[in-house]
Amino acid sequence: MLQAVRAVVEGRVSRPESSDTPRKAIVQAQHRLTPTEVEEIAAEYRAGGTLPRIAKRWGINRETARLALTRAGEPVRERGTLSPAMLEEARQLEAEGWSLNRLGGRFGIDPKTIKKRLADA
């Protein structure tokens, strides 16, 4: 990097074009969720979906998914919590021999948190 700066200063390399030239702004494409999509996201969340998984499935940011749930009037679980349906499924899968790591991956929650939630239940 320092050599490149010296080359410009010494005139061995031409200077880049001035900042007066207009540059095209990088704009992220936005997708506004329709009321139907918001309700579908809320239904998916009520069925036990996690925010990261829903966000990935819908191609939206996790925060956008959370805001959609808020718009739908759906209470958002704290990170690392399991809905009653998810907890029951985790119990069944653990009884079938699933490891804590595998359960953590299934629910998108740290294996230590899964262990604690199962012990608390």
Q: What is the secondary structure of the chain as a DSSP string? A: -HHHHHHHHTTSSPPPPPTTS--PPP-----PPPHHHHHHHHHHHHTT--HHHHHHHHT--HHHHHHHHHHTTPPPPPTT---HHHHHHHHHHHHTT--HHHHHHHHTS-HHHHHHHHHH-
Domain range for 54 is: 35-71
| Count of CB atoms situated within 10 Å of the CB of 39 | 15
70 band by pLDDT with thresholds 50, 70 and 90:
very high
Same domain? For 64 and 89 the reply is: no
Separation of alpha carbons 104 and 102, rounded Å: 5
- pLDDT tens-digit series, residues 84-113: 888 899 999 999 999 999 998 888 788 898
Q: What is the mean pLDDT of the chain?
A: 83
**Is 67 in the same domain as 91?**
no
**Total domain count, the chain:** 2
Please report whether residue 76 resides in a domain: no
Decide if pLDDT at 4 tops 80. Answer: no
Q: Which of 24, 57, 63 is nearest to 40 (CA)?
A: 57
User: Given a cut of 60, is residue 15 above it in pLDDT?
Assistant: no
In a domain, 8, yes or no: no
- Which tokens is 10 given? 């010494």
Give pLDDT tens digits for 33-58: 999 999 999 999 988 888 888 999 99
